[in-house]
Structures are given as structure tokens and as C-alpha cells.
Amino acid sequence: MLAVNAVTLVGTMIRANHIIVEAEDMEFATVWWFVYAGISCILVLFAGIMSGLTLGLMSLGLVDLEILQRSGTLTEKKQAAAILPVVQKQHQLLVTLLLCNACAMEALPICLDKIFTPLIAVVLSVTFVLAFGEIIPQAVCSRYGLYVGANFVWLVRILMVICYPIAYPIGKALDVILGHSDSLFRRAQLKALVSIHSQEAGKGGELTHDETTIISGALDLTEKTAEEAMTPIESTFSLDVRSKLDWEAIGKILARGHSRVPIYSESPKNIIGLLLVKNLLTVRPETETPVSAVSIRRMPRYTLDL
């Protein structure tokens, strides 16, 4: 957008200098010289504000603002609440800001042409517009868009009222043609966002690796079947109900690191319940307590229809 505006501005100023009848240079330091110089500075400042607000406000998504309203700091909540009603009219806001920016840039070379020669007017217009009307405002607003937008929302409201006869019809037409942007994240986008946080978990990120793993698992629940979530019985570690909890058995349980151990009777496929490892705190290995003497919990069963 910066390059396009610069090229358009140069072309406009060149055409304007050919069309306008060249008058004698206005005497320096006269009242009218300062008037035109002041108007030129105001136009550059106004164009810069419009350019910065275009980038700052249009880069703030509705979801981002709603999130800030609910979970941000007290200042962020106030700023988001002030900006949200304006940003909801996305296309009307865009047309208003671009229209005001274009008017300011078109008027600037006309004012400069009154107090400078055409060549100097072109050089100053390009320099001021690029530096103070595009680069600096967009650099600031890209970093502090919420703060700048909240402080200039009053000006945006006034301009939207002034430009309403032009901006409203064009904005409505854009709404019909282009529609509104999809503000909510899709499941795949959420998973990608969690994956990014997972990669940053070891670098001081907001979320830990365990938290991102839990969130990713929750997002996959609707797509997973019970068969995919379960471990084949041939790969599980289990104990015979007739076995004894001696040093060898307890060593195997601790080596596995599970909180629950399946208990079977006669065949490993005949699971009769679960043994909670925490119940073994009172069991002494040297007594070789039978597994059947420890509390065994019933296990839920699921039938898989093939």
C-alpha cells in the first residue's frame, strides 16, 4: 500500500503541476506563505493519521478485540470496547479512512505549489508523505494499533459521519460482494496455533508442553474412535490374580510407571478389574501378598461392533 500511494502521489502531483497555471512564487515569510505552509503540515499530519489508522484498525480482528475485552488488562478492555463498534463496520471504515487519506494527499501538492516551485513541491510532497504520511505512522500503528486506535476513535467517528453519503453505499456494496471475513478460528487453525505454542514451550512460552498436549488431545476427540484411543491387550502390562506382590512384581509395576494395572484371571484376555498402584503403599513386598488380597476395582467394558 505504501508503494502504490507513493506512485499515485507522484503521478497526481506531476499532472497537477501541468494543469495549474504557474503563478509567481509567493514571497517568503508573508502571512499567506505561513498559512499555506501550516495547511501543508496539517495535511501531512492528517494523511499520516489516516494511513496509520488504516493499518492499525483494519489489522484488529473482531475475535482479537472480543478476547481482549474478556481477558485483557483493565486498560486493554476499555480500549477494545471503544474500538469494537467502529471495527464492526469494516468496509465502511476502510472506505472512510482511504477517502480521507486520498483527499489529504491530493490537496498537499496544490498548497505546496503556492509557496514553492513545481520541482520543489514534488520533492517535498514525496518526502513528507513517505516519511510522515506513510512510513512512520504505519510503523507505529503496526506496533501500537490498539492504543492509537482507541485514542483516535473519536476522530474516526466524526469522519465516518462526514463521509457517510459516500462511504456507506460503497461499504454496503463491498459487504454484499465480498462478504464479511470469517472471524472464528477453524479446528485446523486452532491445532496449528497450539502446535506453535508447543514449539515455544521450552523457550519461556505461555503454555507448557503438557498443557499443549492436553489441548491438542481435546481438539482431536471428535475425530478419534475408542479403538484408536485404546492400547491392544497384547501390548498391555497386566498381572494374574493368583500372582503374588513380591519384590519382582512390584519392581515391574514401578518400572512401567502406570497408575493402574489390569488384573486377569487364567487368560490375559480375561480382564477382571484394575489394581490401583497407590493401594500398594501399604503392601510389604517381603510378605508376598496375593493380588487377590488387594482391592481390585471393576473395569468398564465397551463392545465394538464390527
Classify residue 306: in a domain, yes or no: no
Classify residue 71: in a domain, yes or no: yes
What pLDDT is attached to residue 245?
A: 87
Classify residue 259: in a domain, yes or no: yes
Cα 125 to Cα 105: distance, rounded to the nearest angstrom:
8
Are 216 and 82 within one domain?
no
What pLDDT is attached to residue 4?
A: 40
Are 33 and 144 within one domain?
yes
Establish how many alpha carbons lie within 13 A of residue 306's alpha carbon, considering only the half-sphere containing its beta carbon.
1
Are 137 and 28 within one domain?
yes
Classify residue 242: in a domain, yes or no: yes
Cα 51 to Cα 140: distance, rounded to the nearest angstrom:
11
Are 255 and 289 within one domain?
yes
Are 139 and 268 within one domain?
no
Classify residue 301: in a domain, yes or no: no
What pLDDT is attached to residue 306?
A: 53
| CA dist list (Å): 263 to 96, 184, 257, 260, 273 | 72, 47, 16, 10, 5
pTM equals 0.59
CATH code for the domain in which residue 263 is found: 3.10.580.10
> How many other C-beta atoms can be found within 10 angstroms of the C-beta atom of residue 101?
24
Say if CB 156 and CB 53 are below 8 A apart. Answer: yes
What pLDDT is attached to residue 19?
A: 37
113-140 burial code (b ≥16 CB/10 A, e <16): bbbbebeebbebbbebbbebbbeebbeb
Are 243 and 256 within one domain?
yes
What pLDDT is attached to residue 16?
A: 42
Q: What is the DSSP letter of 296?
A: -
In the chain, the number of structural domains is 3
Are 14 and 116 within one domain?
yes
Ranges of the chain whose pLDDT falls below 70: 1-29, 180-185, 200-206, 301-306
Which residues span the domain enclosing 287? 231-293
Are 84 and 216 within one domain?
no
Classify residue 300: in a domain, yes or no: no
Dump pLDDT digits (tens) for 185-244: 677 777 777 777 777 655 656 677 778 788 887 887 777 777 777 778 777 888 888 888
Task: Give the neighbor-by-neighbor strand order of the sheet with 239-240.
Answer: 239-240, 260-265, 267-276
* 3-class SS of residue 267: strand
Are 104 and 34 within one domain?
yes
Cα 98 to Cα 123: distance, rounded to the nearest angstrom:
23
* Rg (alpha carbons) of the chain, rounded to whole number: 35
Are 215 and 149 within one domain?
no
Are 12 and 128 within one domain?
yes
What pLDDT is attached to residue 26?
A: 59
Are 6 and 76 within one domain?
yes
Classify residue 10: in a domain, yes or no: yes
Q: What is the pairing mode between strands 267-276 and 260-265?
A: antiparallel
